[in-house]
Structure 1
């Protein structure tokens, strides 16, 4: 691609997402949602460091800030990697139907298109772990932001999985497809409920203050 999707303005990215074009699509949106979740974790950490009330967690918060920044940057990279991963598949479908190599090229392109959303899921799982820890050790004043991050992360995780499943469904290599689906399923089974619990805990704590 000539330019990075993540160099767009918010309105520019949203317009590109709304346009009649293949990328960005659901995968890019999922990666961006995961990056925003990581950003909210960082925000909570930044408002926690240096506060006497949370001095016992200072070292942990600094570590979480570094890890959240790495995840944020990686998820932003995956916005573009997802678009780049779709390009070979798009070219494969453009091959003439009578081309004897077409099926094999489509199969390979479909497998490649699974890679970025799988990496999004893995990175988002890391973000969910960080949000869970930040919810315990971060400033109570930023609890709503941690909760918002958790809900965004759950959405990102599940959205990315859809992009994997949409590709594995059409694969002729069923062994690869089933193994990939199982990999997705394990992450969803562990981390979707964990993200939901972090968000629900924040909601319950905030509502009790009212």
Structure 2
């Protein structure tokens, strides 16, 4: 499993001529770095003086967001393997026999299914990452101000994860023949990117205002 590799071994595999891991796995890892940095901000917030001065509801919000960040570490790391599995499934479909008419039909169905999985996996990654973004905004607002720059880095990394995931969706859209389906997925991708950019810009402004 890719998520269990050492950083050195993972980078070695990513640098090699292996088809897995690839860009989708790297996007998931970058997303996990964003969620873990967010968790770090809150771990360095809980119990500090500023935290103790929070109203009860704000303390509860910080505690809940920390739990959410830790949960998302696992969710996004899982996508490192899911991406590889989807890609290999598509590649295996192309290797199926293609001589007899029945073989051609079986192969075509497998390829269609492979493309569906290959684009749905990064699309789900982008959607899950987008769901996490409000937690980074919370980190910028309530997190320990000594590490607010880390909240900013988390925001940039999560945006990179989402942009990269959408790119992987679009390349696999080439295998989809139905124009209506392609249009719907492209529209969803545009919505995700637009909302992610809005979150990123908000976080950036919050960080910049404090650092001035």
Q: Does the TM-score normalized on the shorter chain lie above 0.5?
A: yes
Equivalent residue for 1:149? 154
8 Å Cα contact 1:36-1:149 kept in structure 2: yes
State which structure, 1 or 2, has the greater radius of gyration over its C-alpha atoms. Answer: 2
Alignment counterpart, residue 111 of structure 2, candidates 98, 106, 114: 106
Structure 1: state its 5+ residue gaps: none
Aligned mates of 1:108, 1:182 — CA distance in 2: 21
Alignment of 1:185-204 (within 5 A): 185-204=190-209
Q: Deviations over 1:69-123 (max 9, x none)?
A: 1111100011101111112100111234544223332111100111221121112
Please say which of residues 90-99 and 20-29 is displaced more in the overlay: 90-99
2:177 is paired with a residue whose SS is coil
Equivalent residue for 2:137? 132
Q: Does 1:12 align with 2:13?
A: no
TM-score when scaled to structure 2? 0.90
Equivalent residue for 1:93? 94
C-alpha RMSD of matched pairs (Å): 1.5
Aligned mates of 2:21, 2:205 — CA distance in 1: 31
Equivalent residue for 1:59? 60
Aligned mates of 2:169, 2:90 — CA distance in 1: 14
Structure 1 residue 200: Cα displacement: 4.4
Structure 2: state its 5+ residue gaps: none
Aligned mates of 2:205, 2:16 — CA distance in 1: 34
8 Å Cα contact 2:141-2:206 kept in structure 1: no
Alignment of 1:2-41 (within 5 A): 4-41=1-38
1:169 is paired with a residue whose SS is helix
Aligned mates of 1:199, 1:6 — CA distance in 2: 29
1:184 is paired with a residue whose SS is helix
8 Å Cα contact 1:151-1:195 kept in structure 2: yes
Aligned mates of 1:196, 1:164 — CA distance in 2: 23
Equivalent residue for 1:47? 44
Equivalent residue for 1:72? 73
